[in-house]
Amino acid sequence: MKIHPTALVSPRAEIADDVEIGPYAVIGEEVKLGAGCVVHARVVIEGRTTIGENNSIGCGTVLGAPPQDLAFNGEVRSSLRIGTGNTFLEYVTVHRGTKDGSATVVGDGCRIMGGSHLGHNVVLGNNVVIADNCLFGGYVEVGDGAILGDGSVFHQFLRVGPLSVARSGTRAVKDIPPYVEAYWNNYLSGVNTAGLRKAGWPSAARLEIQRAFDLVYRSHLNVSQALQKARETEWSPAARVFFDFIAASKRGICREPRRESSAA
């Protein structure tokens, strides 16, 4: 174990033998740090925070702090759980859950860039990429492989589907379905074709997702009608994820901007 002499590490913290802890870092008594983790300068890790193996935690990052919830009771026993192989860059903040026994969760292989904030009870899937200065309200859920552009903001209780993209500066208060590209204020520009191709999806699978998207967004049916029509056709499991996500939405879904009719 390599701990800088200026670091403050509780003797009750559970720290693997090969963990590196940099200058002026503070590690609380209920923290668990897995093998291969590197904690850079001035990091603060507190509360019931469990961090898996091979995570890099950038300068000034704060993990496991109390939630910014006015109803939060300081006696609550909530937690933060982080998987393996994640990278937190400079000055990221991730708060623990707000209710007793609840947790904020970060999966495996995520990259969270400088200045981003994950509020209480946020759940990130695996291989999520979050660019600089993104803000997530409480209880936001982000699916596997999503890529979220810098300066984007996500309302509490919102869901972001797997393999979706949010362009820089996106402001979302409605759910972003799987496999799509979001931008501006709750708008979609279409299917994230490039992302699906990069993920190894064959042409036939990408075309099916395009058909599913067109049914919901471009068929002149409302969402309920489109979902009913989808039930009448056989779809792949991936397409079913798209339809099931939309059917389960409580906040409503981001939409394409209205297209103006061309002049005669």
pLDDT in tens, 144-170: 999 999 999 999 999 999 999 999 999
pLDDT in tens, 28-79: 999 999 999 999 999 999 999 999 999 999 999 999 999 999 999 989 999 9
Query: How far apart (Å, rounded) are the C-alpha atoms in residues 26 and 42?
Result: 7
What is the amino acid identity at position 179?
A: Y
Identify the CA nearest to 96 among candidates 53, 34, 154, 49. Answer: 49
Please give the model's pTM, rounded to 2 decimal places: 0.96
CA 39 to chain centre: 21
pLDDT in tens, 217-250: 999 999 999 999 999 999 999 999 999 999 999 9
May I ask the CATH class of domain 2-157? mainly beta
CATH 2.60.120 for the 196-247 domain, yes or no? no
Identify the CA nearest to 97 among candidates 126, 60, 140. Answer: 140
Q: Are 187 and 173 in contact, with CB atoms under 8 Å apart?
A: no
Domain boundaries, the chain: 2-157, 196-247
Token representation of residue 85 = 């192989």
Residue 242, H or E segment: helix 237-247
Q: What is the side-by-side strand order in the sheet with 48-51? A: 14-15, 32-33, 48-51, 79-82, 103-106, 123-124, 141-142, 159-160
Q: Binning pLDDT at 50, 70 and 90, where does residue 258 land?
A: confident
Query: How far apart (Å, rounded) are the C-alpha atoms in residues 197 and 163?
Result: 11
